[in-house]
């Protein structure tokens, strides 16, 4: 169609009424893809979840179920999603439309999960930025009881020997816990008391979203350049913290507990479920992000070799991070003269309670605190902006005529960021931690990811055809991968996931944060008590 536009001087000119559609874009080189995927999969779970699970579930023996799930589910699905994106050059929804329109709902499912992840995952970055802002002080705020938020039960102790001090207050709390609960979270008694917004955390969340937006606002053009720093800098920090941890007294105690094998724990089904869920979380599979990142590859890129290298890097990072974390926990155990079981934490409890307490015992504690929280921020930032990028890619690929125009993608991305920021504010209220726990437990639960994995492998292996997809891969990379992955798609991956879903269903527990809240049961008249406060 043509429209009439007025020239700036005289007369009129004919011009097209539709602007030229922008190109989809590609990675400038292989390294940008490698670093982007590495930044996506190597995140907070590698540092604060895998080491604790390894310690809790039998030390070195935990590696047995971990490796079984890795090679039956992790690697095959990781390669499937990456190759699917590269072959179709489409995002997480339209790729399934090309393979089998009947399974397009898989794409919508992954993007629903990613949308929910965008709401709450970045909250951890806000906490990290908040703690980082308190690290630039010689006297760390969580190392003493002389602050306005401390209670009369606050007790400063570097070493604790209860037998030598029988008069110790049984209600004693450490300053690091009071800083976390009373200063950072300002946590309310329960989810039914949401309270007011923590404006300082809201500012930290705003900063986190600004960083995230400008990392991806130009698509792969900006993302490909940013990851040179954001994906590599955490490794520098991890190396520094590892060297520091190994030189501390008591480090050997922690490493012994981390690795000492207890084969008897393998009889516990929970050990196997922990291994499976860790694989799904740490490899970012069934989220559509790998498909989105792979879709920007050149058609003949050797994605098989890339995936094998990335899987090795991811699990290797988790294993090495355990030495950095448990050497510090061993130091804490040594300094406080308590069993390591009393200082070992997982999740936010490690990042915002155990580790801050540890660095407060070290010389030059502000330096180590700052390095640790910088690492936390960058580990989370990569994973976060890749999630947002995968959502944007999926929507833009669905409506290219609408969004692949000048500045429209940037404006759409800005709308996504603003909406996600506003949703995240709920979790920064005084009762927001309970909402965060609900999102963390249900939004991207292991059950959801297992179901997605079952349907993805069934679609590719049985509906589209495993041999047919192998032909597509051969067309891209020039050779057929070994039959092992094909048989995983056909049999081992769906079978493993079905067994895991069945077992998880029988093992599900009430979510909690140490607080019991009455909610009506949907299928009964009397109220059922749901534990809505979980001890970190």
List the structure tokens of 207: 């900063």
DSSP summary character for residue 353? I
Task: Identify which of 87, 81, 73, 85 has the alpha carbon closest to the alpha carbon of residue 468.
Answer: 87
Q: What does the alpha-carbon distance between residue 40 and residue 114 come to, in Å, rounded to a whole number?
A: 13
The phi, psi pair for 268, rounded to 5°, reads -85, 120
> Annotation-wise, does 379 bind a ligand?
yes
Q: What does the alpha-carbon distance between residue 35 and residue 228 come to, in Å, rounded to a whole number?
A: 7
> Annotation-wise, does 139 bind a ligand?
no
Q: SS in 3 state form for 398-456?
A: HCHHHHCCCCHHHHHHHHHHHHHHHHHHHHHECCHHHHHHHHHHHCCCHHHHHHHHHHH
> Annotation-wise, does 169 bind a ligand?
no
Local structure of 341: helix, strand or coil: helix
> Annotation-wise, does 301 bind a ligand?
no
Local structure of 4: helix, strand or coil: strand
DSSP summary character for residue 23? P
User: Cα torsion for 351, 355, 360, 363, to the nearest 10°?
Assistant: -120
| Burial readout 472-504 (b: 16 or more C-beta within 10 A, e: otherwise) | bbeebbeeebeeebbebbbebbbebbeebbeeb
Burial class (CB in 10 A: 0-12, 13-18, 19+), 302: middle
Q: What does the alpha-carbon distance between residue 385 and residue 264 come to, in Å, rounded to a whole number?
A: 41
Query: Residue 507's CB: how many other CB atoms inside 10 A?
Result: 10
DSSP summary character for residue 154? B
> Annotation-wise, does 46 bind a ligand?
yes
Q: How many helices (H) and strands (E) does the chain have?
A: 25, 4
> Annotation-wise, does 383 bind a ligand?
yes
Name the binding residues: 39, 46, 282, 314, 379, 382-383
Name the binding residues for Na(+): 39, 46, 282, 314, 379, 382-383
């Amino acid at each position: 169609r043509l429209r009439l536009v007025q020239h700036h001087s005289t007369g009129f000119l004919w011009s097209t009424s539709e602007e030229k559609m922008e190109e989809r874009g590609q990675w400038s080189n292989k390294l940008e893809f490698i670093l982007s995927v590495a930044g996506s999969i190597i995140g907070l779970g590698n540092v604060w979840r895998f080491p604790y699970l390894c310690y809790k579930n039998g030390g070195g023996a935990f590696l047995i179920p971990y490796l079984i799930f890795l090679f039956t589910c992790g690697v095959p699905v990781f390669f499937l999603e990456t190759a699917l994106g590269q072959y179709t050059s489409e995002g997480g929804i339209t790729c399934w439309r090309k393979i089998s329109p009947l399974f397009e709902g898989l794409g919508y499912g992954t993007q629903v999960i990613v949308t929910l992840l965008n709401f709450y995952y970045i909250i951890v970055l806000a906490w990290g930025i908040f703690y980082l802002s308190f690290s630039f002080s010689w006297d760390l705020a969580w190392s003493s009881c002389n602050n306005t938020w401390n209670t009369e039960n606050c007790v400063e102790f570097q070493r604790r020997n209860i037998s030598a001090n029988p008069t110790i207050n049984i209600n004693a709390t450490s300053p690091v816990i009071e800083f976390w609960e009373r200063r950072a979270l300002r946590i309310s008694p329960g989810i039914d008391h949401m309270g007011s917004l923590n404006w300082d955390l809201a500012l930290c969340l705003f900063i986190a979203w600004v960083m995230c937006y400008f990392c991806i606002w130009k698509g792969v053009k900006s993302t490909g350049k940013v990851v040179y720093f954001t994906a590599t800098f955490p490794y520098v920090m991890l190396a520094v913290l590892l060297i520091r941890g190994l030189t501390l007294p008591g480090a050997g105690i922690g490493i012994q507990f981390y690795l000492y094998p207890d084969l008897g724990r393998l009889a516990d089904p929970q050990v196997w479920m922990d291994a499976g869920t860790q694989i799904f979380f740490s490899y970012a599979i069934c989220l559509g992000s790998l498909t989105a990142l792979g879709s920007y590859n050149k058609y003949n890129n050797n994605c098989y070799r890339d995936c094998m290298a990335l899987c090795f890097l991811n699990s290797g990072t988790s294993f090495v991070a355990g030495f950095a974390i448990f050497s510090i926990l061993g130091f804490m155990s040594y300094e406080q003269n308590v069993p390591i079981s009393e200082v070992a934490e997982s999740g936010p409890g490690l990042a915002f309670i155990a580790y801050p307490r540890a660095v407060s015992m070290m010389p030059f504690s502000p330096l180590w605190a700052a390095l640790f929280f910088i690492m936390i921020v960058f580990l989370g930032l990569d994973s976060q902006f890749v999630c947002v990028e995968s959502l944007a890619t999926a929507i833009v690929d669905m409506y290219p005529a609408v969004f692949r125009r000048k500045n429209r993608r940037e404006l759409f991305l800005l709308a996504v960021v603003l909406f996600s920021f506003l949703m995240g504010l709920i979790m920064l209220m005084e009762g927001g931690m309970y909402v965060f726990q609900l999102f963390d437990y249900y939004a991207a639960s292991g059950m959801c990811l297992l179901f997605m994995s079952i349907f993805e492998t069934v679609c590719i292996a049985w509906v589209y055809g495993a041999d047919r997809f192998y032909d597509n891969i051969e067309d891209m990379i020039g050779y057929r991968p070994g039959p092992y992955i094909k048989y995983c798609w056909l049999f081992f991956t769906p079978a493993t996931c079905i067994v895991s879903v069945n077992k998880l269903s029988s093992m599900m527990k009430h979510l909690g944060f140490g607080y019991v809240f009455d909610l009506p049961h949907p299928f009964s008249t009397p109220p059922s008590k749901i534990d809505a406060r979980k001890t970190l």
